[in-house]
Amino acid sequence: MAKSAVNKFEIHQIGVVVSPYKKTEDMPIQASHSTARGKIIIDDDYTEGLKDLEGFSHITILYRFHMSRDEPLLVKPFLDDIPRGVFATRSPRRPNRIGISTIKLISLYGNVLEVEGLDMLDATPLIDIKPYVPQFDDRTETDIGWLKEKLTEKPSNKR
């Protein structure tokens, strides 16, 4: 697949996730299935941007799947044996390797956020933080495509 030089841009790491997970096979499948605690350490240049974040109970973080090495357009999800289009999955093997998780913010001091609900590896590069706002983020009427038949029961916590 040809990549256009016109559409290239840079994203800068703003911090790092300190997680108890050292291997992908030990991680939970999603943040909503995790009680793992850890830290997010923000680079000094971005600490000022944390002002007023401590009033939020949850944050949504964007990060880089730094251990993912390929970017296929068809992947076999952990809940299925059928190859699916990567954009119809939550696979870490995807173009740009960007992940998203909503996690609980326990505390904030200086440039360190104590968090709960981690589902990423230790040393994961952090790209962005946004406050979770139910009035903006929750959707009550949704369809979940091919996953509907797979999620009749709560999935196990592991991959």
Per-residue pLDDT tens digits for 113-155: 999 999 899 999 999 999 999 888 777 777 767 777 777 655 5
Helix (H) or strand (E) holding 84: strand 84-85
Residue 20: alpha-carbon gap to chain centroid? 15
Q: Per-residue confidence at 105, pLDDT binned at 50, 70, 90? A: very high
Output the pTM of the full model: 0.81
Tokens of 143: 């369809």
Residue with the larger pLDDT of the pair 39 and 119: 39
Placement of tokens 């956020």 in the chain: 113
Closest CA to 15 of 116, 129, 104: 129
Residue 81, helix vs strand vs coil = coil
Map out the domains of the chain with their CATH numbers.
11-149 (2.40.30.70)
| Cα–chain center distance at 43 | 19
Name the strand (E) or helix (H) holding 126: strand 124-131
Torsion of CA 2, 91, 39, 128, to 10 degrees: 40
pLDDT given at position 35: 77
What pLDDT, on a 0 to 100 scale, did the predictor assign at position 72?
80
More confident residue, 99 or 77: 99
pLDDT tens digits, one per residue of 46-91: 999 999 999 999 999 999 988 877 888 898 887 788 898 888 887 8
Residues in the chain: 159
How does DSSP classify residue 89?
S
Q: Which residues pair with 115 in a beta bridge?
A: 38, 105
